Structures are given as C-alpha cells and as structure tokens.
Amino acid sequence: KQQNWAGPLPRPFLLAHYPPDRRMRTFGEFSVFDWSGQNVERPKGIALASCRPNTAPQLHRPASSHWSRADVLHWLLTQADRQSDMLIGFDLSMGFPFADTGAFFPGWDESPHSAPALWELVDQLCALDPYLSASSFVAHPELARYFRHQGQLGDRYGAEKSGRLRIVERESRMQISARPYSCLNLVGAAQVGKSSLTGMRLLHRLRGIIPVWPFDPMPASGPVIVEIYTSIAANAAQLAKGRSKIRDQSALNTALANLNCPAPAPINRYDDHSTDALLTAAWLAKAATNPQFWQPKLMSHKIAQTEGWTFGIS
C-alpha cells in the first residue's frame, strides 16, 4: 500500500520494541497540517507549517499550486525515512465516538473494535476513490445510517441534535469553551467528518511506519503523529471567542507574540488555512513540553485505542 512512494521504504517501527506506555519525550521540530476532506486532487484547505523551539514558524510551499494528499503521504514517508525528530499534528478526528455506545457503529455486526481497524476499513471501502478521498465510505448502505449528509439524516446518527461526540470533544467544550462538531456530521463549513475520513486513509497507509499517539507506544526517536484542534491554539493565543480566524499579517504576529513566538517571514496570502497551520505549529512547540497533555485525566486505555484524543486537552 505504498504505491505513492517512489523512494526506498523506511524501516517500520515494531510495537514490540517499545515499552507499553505513552510517556512524553522531547522533539526538535513541530509540524502541523491544516487538513481537508474535499474530493479533489489538490484541496485548497491543506496547509503545512513547521516550527522549532523559540523560533518563528515557517510555511511549507508545495511543488504545485496546492498540496495533494499524495504529496502529504510522500512528505511523511520522507520524514520516516530520515527518522526526523518531529512531532506532527493533523487537524482532524482520528477516531469516531465509541464510549457512548460501546461501538463506532452500534447495531452493525461489522463495526471495528479499534481505531486502527477503523482506518483499515475506511481505506478498504474507499479503495477506488481517487485522491485518497472517502466518498464510498459514507455511501455504504449500512454506514450511511450513522452520518448526517446534505439533505439526509441517518437514522442512527444520534439522539442529540449535535450528533454523537467523543469524550475528548465533550471535555474540550468545558476546558476551552469550544463547540466541536460531531465527526459524524458531513454538512457545513465547520464539519470535520470528511477531513477525518480522508485522514484515516492516510493513517492506515502509515501504519507500522509512523506511530500515532495515543494509539501507539511512544518511540525513542523518529516522527510521531498527534491529533490537534486549531481552536486550542487560538484560545492559547488569546484570540477572541468566535474570532479565531486570522486573515492579515498584523493579527498573526500579535497572536504569535501572545505565545512568546517570533513573527514569521511574510507570506503571499493570509488565508485561514495558512495562518491556522502557522499559529498551531508555534503552539505545538510549546504545548509538547506540558506533561499534562500527554497524560489526560479521562483518557483510559480503551479510549486511547478507540476514540483517541486531541493533544492539548488535559
């Protein structure tokens, strides 16, 4: 499943080689992807920024006009091959709600029992979807019942109007006063369902190559992937509630200054995706040193293996 990788494959990490814990470690570089579930080859919503401790974040430009998900996969495999000392954040949900009903898809006999098994299922059912998109998953006659679609509400979407939520999403509402959408919602500009599904296809293709926290033990070296939520960085940067999007240089520099981070070089266009990536990379470089973020109070082993957790919610 490495058909998008043209170079030598990196050596896979072996879970048996690492102690069965998820303790923090230090990293030398921090990268963040603002992500997209758009069903096109080069979604405009993908942006990548990196930051080193106590330095200004930098935006990475793709070789083409916009990043493709295949480009991102190639970039990640390159980091694995180099054993880059890097923590990599993705703005998407890496698991679906599980704790509320004891299943991702309650009432369906083929519901997976872990997040990695869910990633595999998404990739299998969407094998013919181009661009690592995931339209086939939510078109599945049984699975469609669990999602909110445009003009259609699945009969198993959930009793709450907002849809089912993960434990970490409920906790984020209390800790940072955010209003995260259910990742089973596929409607609206703020929905994360499509992004999450395309991200799961990517994560499955990285299985055994780059560990993902909190599903995998922490390796002694090399890159690690975590789930992030850009609103957490916006909250830490003291952006006003409801005004978390930055669209000019002055606002970005002010937000970074609130994180005690130097201003970056000017960029061509101050769109939401680029500024989200820059601000969150700077935040991640500081947040990664906080032990509480690596050992959340409510994250049991079962939650860590099914729903996962958003880094930055303690």
Higher pLDDT, 158 or 146: 146
CB 235 within 8 Å of CB 176: yes
* Residue 301's pLDDT band (cuts 50, 70, 90): very high
Distance CA 148, CA 25 (A): 39
Strand partners for 310:
227
Taking residues 59-68, report their average pLDDT.
92
Q: What is the pLDDT averaged over residues 135-150?
A: 96
- Residue 17 is classified by DSSP as G
Contacts of 124 (CB under 8 A, 6+ apart): none
- Residue-wise pLDDT for 92-139, tens only, equals 999 999 999 999 999 999 999 999 999 999 999 999 999 999 999 999
The whole-number average pLDDT for the span 16-37 is: 78
* Cα distance between residue 226 and residue 89, in whole Å: 5
Q: In sequence order, what DSSP letters do the residues of 173-242 get, joined into one string?
A: HHHS---PPPTTB--STT--HHHHHHHHHHHHHTTTTS-BTTTSPPPSSS-EEEE--HHHHHHHTTPPTT
pTM (2 d.p.): 0.92
Q: Please, where are the H alpha helices in the chain?
A: 69-82, 115-125, 135-139, 167-175, 193-205, 230-236, 249-258, 272-287, 291-294, 301-306
Both tokens of residue 88?
Answer: 């990599």
Ramachandran bin of 220, using left for φ above 0, alpha for ψ from -120 to 50, beta for the remaining angles: alpha
Query: What are 207-260's pLDDT values in tens digits?
Result: 999 999 999 999 999 999 999 999 999 999 998 776 668 989 999 999 999 999
Burial-class residue 248 by CB neighbours within 10 Å (0-12, 13-18, 19+).
Answer: exposed
| Omega before 214 within 30 of 0, i.e. cis | yes
CB distance 188 to 148 below 8 Å:
no
Average pLDDT in the chain: 90
Phi, then psi, of 285 in degrees rounded to 5? -60, -30
Q: Which of 309, 274, 270, 276 is nearest to 293 (CA)?
A: 309
Backbone angles phi, psi at 25, to 5 degrees: -145, 170
d(CA 302, CA 239): 34
CA 81 to CA 75: how far, in whole Å?
A: 10
